[in-house]
Structure 1
Amino acid sequence: MLARIRKDLQVIFERDPAARSVWEIVLCYPGFHAILLHRVAHWLYKKKWVVLARFISQVSRFLTGIEIHPGAVIGEGLFIDHGSGVVIGETAEVGDNVTIYQGVTLGGTGKEQGKRHPTIGNNVVVSSGARVLGSITIGDNVKIGSGSVVLRPVPPNCTVVGVPGKIVVREGVKVRGVHDPIDLNQDLADPMAEMIFCLQRKINQLEDRIAQLEGTEHESPDLQHARSQERNICSA
């Protein structure tokens, strides 16, 4: 237990530049408190003391704003930053060295029985407000962008953004070089913006082609300049 507490303190120092001392973490970090209380509740849950385990989880929720069901399996090195509004369901499984920001939900999609919450791999970053729903698996080294809603499994070494979540970076595509074990960079691509830019380029190409077919390339330079300005305004 003491070794795991030391690990929890170490990962907070590694991933949060605002952490200045052990006492600051022990007294002022709700994510740290929630993880400690969850370990107690989870131990009781496995011993079939379900009501007491649920009571401790509710006390933790009241004190920290973080709700972790005592049945959830949490690996080592979990860091819940700020944490307000985080919800982790009963059958969720969280791997090692995972970072979760405020407002994240690892939840279910209905009233199905059995495994109904996601499995999160190692070295995963789940950004603010993201929703990972259903009995799906998120692979190792995955980054999930803020506000994303992930409903399908995600292979390892990917970046997911959007509603519903779409893979915008996959291993072998847009290679960023050698990564650190935990990559907290959240400068993520915007798939909708990229799609709009592609459509705009296509429209400009089609307008140029139509102008060629209509013979407008022989029009006066002033008229051509006016048409060019009109396309630039539409692009803006």
Structure 2
Amino acid sequence: MGIFKTMKEDMDVVFEQDPAARTYIEVMLTYSGLHAVWAHRIAHRFFKRRLFFIARVISQASRFFTGIEIHPGAKIGRRLFIDHGMGVVIGETCEIGDNVTIFQGVTLGGTGKERGKRHPTVKDNALISTGAKVLGAITIGESSKVGGGSVVLKDVPDHSTVVGVPGRVVIQNGERVRRDLDHHKIPDPVADRCEHMQVQIDELKAEIAKLKQGSVKQYVD
């Protein structure tokens, strides 16, 4: 695919994912996530030619202007959408598939000083929500979602939803996960458990109140 077709494809995905986008000129000039992806494509070409210093200079300049740090060694597929990307970090050995959506504050990072493959692989159609941390050489499955603020340290199967710290798979039904912007509606198993415990506490309080009333009545009689 030619460079101009690739650029148009990158802009088209913005219109698909962001209802605030209005014109191509606006998207081209004002979307930092788009600028970061374009700068990475250039830096990655130098990186593959082992011109590492030039590649890092380009990536750091992009980081300065966009607030998004993508190591030039990372492999990124088509139609990546980084929405409000301030604080996004994508490590050197990351591999990102096609049609992936990443929100602000996401880290695709390593867990130590190990060499080789040490950053996540994100498969096609995945969505990683605000503030999520995906760490280590793990895989986020195809069409899966990572909830906002989650810390994921283990592989996530295809068509799954993972939330919490550490991340837990809460949906895995074998069907394609709908890709939308309602990432605030992803289930929270910790909150659900707390709510369940509160219900049990209320029931116990009611039982204790009945027992007290019975004791008082018996004493009076």
Asked if TM exceeds 0.5, the reply is yes
| Contact kept? 1:107, 1:117, Cα under 8 Å | yes
**Equivalent in the alignment of 2:90:** 88
Structure 2 portions without partners, runs of 5+ = none
Deviations 1:44-93 (A, max 9, x none): 10011111111110111111111000000000010011111110000001
**Equivalent in the alignment of 1:183:** 180
Distance between the aligned counterparts of 2:142 and 2:182, measured in 1? Answer: 16
Distance between the aligned counterparts of 1:219 and 1:183, measured in 2? Answer: 55
Change (3 A) 1:135 1:179: closer
Structure 1 portions without partners, runs of 5+ = 224-236
**Equivalent in the alignment of 2:197:** 199
Distance between the aligned counterparts of 2:158 and 2:181, measured in 1? Answer: 16
Distance between the aligned counterparts of 1:102 and 1:218, measured in 2? Answer: 55
Change (3 A) 1:149 1:218: closer
What SS does the aligned partner of 1:219 have?
helix
AA matched with 1:47: R
| Contact kept? 2:143, 2:177, Cα under 8 Å | no
Aligned with residue 15 of structure 1, among 14, 17, 21: 17
AA matched with 2:65: L
What SS does the aligned partner of 2:191 have?
helix
1:202, CA displacement in angstroms? 4.0
- Give the TM-score of the pair, scaled to structure 1: 0.83
| Contact kept? 1:125, 1:184, Cα under 8 Å | no
What SS does the aligned partner of 1:2 have?
helix
Distance between the aligned counterparts of 2:8 and 2:123, measured in 1? Answer: 22
1:184, CA displacement in angstroms? 2.7
- Give the TM-score of the pair, scaled to structure 2: 0.89
CA RMSD of superposed structures (Å):
2.3
Identical pairs, percent = 54
**Structure of larger gyration radius:** 1
1:36 to 2:38 alignment: yes
1:164, CA displacement in angstroms? 0.8
